[in-house]
């Protein structure tokens, strides 16, 4: 199971968390976010992929951040259209993977995914809440039994150490068949954007064990 740690903000904390070798580190380029990143990135292990998180940003802004921070993936967390995703895919000078985020509740209509199938590499399912991410609570993962796609997805939304048993049960069920990665953020924070290294280390040790292999 892959691990994405999102909402990194402080240089020393980024370097410290980088020693855990998560698969992905996420940096939020949305100025209204308390985790807005506008700093300098430390040298990170090459195997860690850097994800830029954007909310209704322009293609120009996204391209600038990709170039400045040498990003590997773009995560679109706003109301970006399939046409926007297509433009982004064709307009980038280097191959960048795209994660399209969808906020989920009990009434989520999975039909909205279909137009995005060909224009992104991953889906990410987050909790539908007041903010575009970082709301701090989980959604009912049982709804993912309705997932109609074979595209790999990231599971997000208020996941913390308290969910370990729930994650384990989820990974043993059919709904997790295409779950590619776990995305964590606010439940591992000392303050907004400042991550608790010890808690993250414990979490990573759990989800990389054999008990957490997808169904």
Q: Residue 153: pLDDT band by 50, 70, 90 thresholds?
A: very high
CB-CB neighbours of 149 under 10 Å: 13
> Are the C-beta atoms of 161 and 203 separated by less than 8 Å?
yes
Q: In CATH, what number does 2-212 get?
A: 3.20.20.70
pLDDT digits (tens, 9 = 90+) for 161-203: 999 999 999 999 999 999 999 999 999 999 999 999 999 999 9
Q: Which two tokens stand for residue 28?
A: 């939020």
Q: What is the pLDDT of residues 115-141, one digit of tens each?
A: 999 999 999 999 976 555 455 568 999
Closest CA to 120 of 108, 128, 129, 112: 112
Give this prediction's pTM: 0.94
Instruction: Show me where the domains of the chain are located.
Output: 2-212
Q: What are phi and psi of 196, to 5 degrees?
A: -90, 105
């Amino acid at each position: 199971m892959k691990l994405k740690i999102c909402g990194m903000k402080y240089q020393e904390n980024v370097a410290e968390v980088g020693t855990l070798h998560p698969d992905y580190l996420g940096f939020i380029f949305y100025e209204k976010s308390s985790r807005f990143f506008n700093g300098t990135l430390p040298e990170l292990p090459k195997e860690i992929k850097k994800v830029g998180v954007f909310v209704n940003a322009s293609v120009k802004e996204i391209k600038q951040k990709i170039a400045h921070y040498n990003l590997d993936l773009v995560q679109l967390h706003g109301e970006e259209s399939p046409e926007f995703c297509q433009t982004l895919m064709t307009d980038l000078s280097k191959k960048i993977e795209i994660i399209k985020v969808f906020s989920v509740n009990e009434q989520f209509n999975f039909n909205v995914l279909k137009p995005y199938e060909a224009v992104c590499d991953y889906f990410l399912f987050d909790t539908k809440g007041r903010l575009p991410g970082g709301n701090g609570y989980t959604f009912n993962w049982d709804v993912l039994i309705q997932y109609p796609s074979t595209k790999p997805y990231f599971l997000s939304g208020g996941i913390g150490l308290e969910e370990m048993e729930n994650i384990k049960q989820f990974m043993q069920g059919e709904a997790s068949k295409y779950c590619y990665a776990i995305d964590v953020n606010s439940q591992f924070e000392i303050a907004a954007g400042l991550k608790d290294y010890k808690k993250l280390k414990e979490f990573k040790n759990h989800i990389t064990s054999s008990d957490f292999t997808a169904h």
